[in-house]
Structure formats: C-alpha cells, structure tokens
Structure 1
Amino acid sequence: MSSGVELVGFLMCVGGWLLTAVSLANDYWRLSSVSGSVIISVRQYQNLWQSCAEGSTGVSNCRTFQSLLALDGYIQACRALMIVALILGLLSIVLALLGLKCTKLGSTSESTKGKMALTAGVLFILSGVCVLVAVSWYAARVVQEFNDPFYGGTKFELGTGLYLGWAAAALVMLGGGFLCTSCKSNPAPAQTRGYSYNYTSQPQKIYRTEAPSDYSSSKAYV
C-alpha cells in the first residue's frame, strides 16, 4: 500500500474526529416540527446537554439539563458513546502519527509501524461505530415520537447535529479501513537452494616403525 493512500486515510480520520466534536457541541440535534398554516412564534431545539427556545425576535433562552439521573436512558447512553468516541479518536491519532510510513521515530522497524497503524485503524473504526450508534439511536427516538399519534409532547424533527454525526462516522470508519490495510504481513524469506559441501578431514599420516635389526620374523616350514 502506498504512503499516499495511508496519509489520505489518516487525514480522513482526523477530519471525522473533528466533525464528531462539532456534532457533539451542536445545538440542533432535534428541532420542533413546523407544519400547516399555523404560524409558530417559538421554535424549540435540543441537544444532549440543553434545551432551548427561540422566539420570533431571534432571542434564545436555553436551560441546561440539571440532573443526569433524571434524563432518559438513551440520552445518557448517547452522551457516553460520543465521549468514548472522542477519547478513542484522540488515542488513535497519536498511534497513527507514530505508525505512518512517512514519519520516523528512532529505529522503529516497518513491521512495528505497520502494527501501530493497524491498531490505530481498529480504534478509529470503533470510534466511528460509537458515533454511528449514538446518532442513530437518538434519531430513532425522534422519529418514533414524531410518528406516535398518542405522544402528547412537542414533536421534533432531525437536526443538523445528527447529520454531522453520520458524516463523521462515515469518514472515521472509512479512514480507519485505509489504515488497517497498511499493515501487511512480511513474507517469509525464500529458502535458497544450494549445493551442500561435505568437508572431509585430511588423511592421517601413518608412521611405520621398523623393528630393530637384530629381530626378524621367521617362517616355519614343515
């Protein structure tokens, strides 16, 4: 895999992480529904942290959610998922910077950098899944309340923050996939065929000792 594709994946992840932060801070996760010929002078909108009302003059009054335990369970879960996504994204950015092929960190080998890039890609994908679950869960509740004929409260529609969250999840997961492909298993070194040589030891020298002159072997004849 080329370093250019890896760098593009990293930039996509960083952009998606920043977009996640923007989505979390956005005020318009849900907007009050305006339909029919009735002129509505007050528009309501909410996010995970506060509820606001905007008058016809453009002046907004916001009320922060006071008690965490008094909130609906899905709002608490969406908060936790978005915060976990930001933490995972920050950790992934650090690992990806160390694992990119275009960065040098001491004598780090290519296999180690590939493993770091793979870990960063997996964490980025998990971060994107957290964002996707949070915004989809919140959107499902908004749609459910809107279509419920017995719901007596204010009916809302999907806001800008949800669309930003979906875009952030798509960028982070796609960029994380690019980073995961940068880790390749190094092929095993090919075994070279060659000739084997058997080295024999040098022949030993045999020293013959002659018998003394006064000793001779005799043969017996019958």
Structure 2
Amino acid sequence: MATTGLQLLGLVLAVMGWVCGALVCAAPLWRVSAFVGGELVIAQVLWEGLWMNCLSQTTGHIQCKSYDSTLALPTSAQAARGLTVLSLLLCVLALILGVAGAKCTHCMGDNNQASKARLGRIAGVLFLVAGLAYLIPICWTAYVIIRDFYNPNIAAPLKRELGPALYLGWGACVLLLVGGALLHVGSSSPVGRTRPVFGGAAKDNPHPGAAGEGRQPEKSFV
C-alpha cells in the first residue's frame, strides 16, 4: 500500500532540493578567484557564476555584470546552463505529478488509488533524473576548476577555486535523489496482493463439487 508518510517526506526533501538548486543556478558563486603565487592582491575578489560575474572590493562595493556572449563561455559553463535549467524544469513537472499522486490529496478522487500511486512513482523517477542531471554540471565544474588550479601552464591570476555555490549544489543533488527515492518507494501499488489466491480458490471449489455430483449417480446405480 502507498505510504503517506514516505510520500510527504519525499516531496518535502525534493522541494527543498529544487529550491536550493534554483538558488545555486542563479547565484554568481560557482568560481572564486584564487590567491596563488608571490604577489597577492586581496583588494578585490572575482566571483563567477553561470549567468554573470561579480567583483567584490574590500570597501564593500560589489559590481555585477552579465556575460556579453554565451558562445564565448567555456564548454563546461554552456553545458552547466542547459543541464541545470533542464533539471529545474523536470522538478516542476515532478512536483505537479507528485502532488496529484499523493495519497493525502484528492486531485484524482479517492477511488483511483492505482493511478495515483503510478503518478507518485513517475514523480519519484523524475526527481531522481533531475538530481542526476544537476549533479553532472556541479561535478564537471569542480573538476575543471581543480584541473586548471594545478595546471602549471595557466597563469596565477586566471586560476579559480571552488565557490560556495558548488557545495550547496551537492547538497541540492542529495536532497533531490533522496526525496525522489522516498517518493518512489512510498508510492507502491495499492492493488491487493491476495486477489490471485482467492481467484484460484474460487476456481478450485466448483470442480470437486461437480465431480462429486457426477459420481453420486454412478454409486446409486451400483
């Protein structure tokens, strides 16, 4: 039977992951300028995100600017844009199906529990796919940052470090994956499992009776 507690817990965790993922997608905190080498310039810090970069100064002044050209961005940034947006759209679709398929809602009526459980399982799978789709750009960006940081052929001012948005993105992926798994497990089929037993017993009962009725006349003649 569908478990309401697991469904609600899965939906809550998945929604939290969706909100965190939206914040990570919009925040310009994916990359931060690294202070390496003999000359350290700490008067300003450069933050880079998917859609804009920001320059923070020690005076407290922050200046943000969106990227002039999308095609001029690195391949990892372009792929991260597409995958994060796709993941967020899948979360919206999964949330609609999850609410409609929850056992505690009345969107499809109370007499259609099998279809509601099916929608809940589909929503759980969509949340799992969204979590995996969001995990790819996070890990890809982190790999590129670490690879370039230890590359001696890249100048020190061009090297970057992991921004706080990446860590929040990993947390959002975990919430989406765990929430989707709980929603899928909690939306098991409500169809009764004893139906084949009763059906087999009902089919077996008439045969002995019919055989008995057929044998009684033979015994009477004998």
Tell me the TM-score normalized by structure 1: 0.83
Please name the residue that 1:7 is paired with: 8
Aligned counterparts, 1:14-53, within 5 A: 14-34=15-35, 38-53=40-55
Q: Does 1:122 align with 2:133?
A: no
Q: For residues 27-49 of structure 1, give each alpha carbon's deviation from its aligned partner in whole angstroms, at most 9, with x where no partner exists.
A: 21111113578352111110001
Preserved contact between residue 32 and residue 162 of structure 2 (Cα < 8 Å) = yes
Distance 2:143 2:33 in 1: 16
Distance 1:39 1:51 in 2: 18
Q: Which runs of 4+ in 1 moved over 4 A?
A: 195-200
Please name the residue that 1:178 is paired with: 182
Distance 2:158 2:72 in 1: 19
Residue 27 of structure 1 aligns with an amino acid whose one-letter code is P
Preserved contact between residue 24 and residue 166 of structure 2 (Cα < 8 Å) = yes
Please name the residue that 2:63 is paired with: 61
Residue 141 of structure 1 aligns with an amino acid whose one-letter code is V
Preserved contact between residue 94 and residue 123 of structure 2 (Cα < 8 Å) = yes
Residue 73 of structure 1 aligns with an amino acid whose one-letter code is T
Q: For residues 4-49 of structure 1, give each alpha carbon's deviation from its aligned partner in whole angstroms, at most 9, with x where no partner exists.
A: 1221011000111011001111121111113578352111110001
Instruction: Report which stretch shifted further, 103-112 or 92-101.
Output: 103-112
Preserved contact between residue 32 and residue 161 of structure 2 (Cα < 8 Å) = yes
Q: Using the TM superposition, give the Cα deviation of residue 170 of structure 1 relative to its aligned residue in structure 2, in angstroms.
A: 0.4
Pick from 32, 52, 76 the counterpart of residue 78 of structure 2.
76
Match of 2:186, SS state, is coil
Q: Using the TM superposition, give the Cα deviation of residue 61 of structure 1 relative to its aligned residue in structure 2, in angstroms.
A: 2.0
Tell me the TM-score normalized by structure 2: 0.83
Match of 2:32, SS state, is strand
Please name the residue that 1:213 is paired with: none
Aligned counterparts, 1:105-120, within 5 A: 105-120=108-123
Residue 145 of structure 1 aligns with an amino acid whose one-letter code is D
Distance 2:59 2:188 in 1: 60
Q: Percent identity?
A: 31
Query: Aligned residues, how many?
Result: 200
Instruction: Report which stretch shifted further, 31-40 or 105-114.
Output: 31-40
Q: Does 1:164 align with 2:168?
A: yes
Match of 1:53, SS state, is strand
Match of 2:158, SS state, is coil
Cα separation, partners in 2 of 1:76 and 1:97, compared to 1, 3 Å: same
Q: Using the TM superposition, give the Cα deviation of residue 195 of structure 1 relative to its aligned residue in structure 2, in angstroms.
A: 4.2
Pick from 84, 87, 90 the counterpart of residue 85 of structure 1.
87
Unaligned runs of 5+ in 1: 201-222
- Greater fraction of residues in helix: 2
Unaligned runs of 5+ in 2: 215-222
Q: Using the TM superposition, give the Cα deviation of residue 57 of structure 1 relative to its aligned residue in structure 2, in angstroms.
A: 0.9
CA RMSD in angstroms comes to 2.0
Residue 174 of structure 2 aligns with an amino acid whose one-letter code is A
Pick from 176, 187, 194 the counterpart of residue 205 of structure 2.
194
Match of 1:48, SS state, is coil
Aligned counterparts, 1:127-166, within 5 A: 127-152=130-155, 153-166=157-170
Distance 1:92 1:38 in 2: 47
Match of 1:181, SS state, is helix
Match of 2:103, SS state, is coil
Q: For residues 163-204 of structure 1, give each alpha carbon's deviation from its aligned partner in whole angstroms, at most 9, with x where no partner exists.
A: 11110000001110111113434326112242444489xxxx
Distance 2:42 2:188 in 1: 59
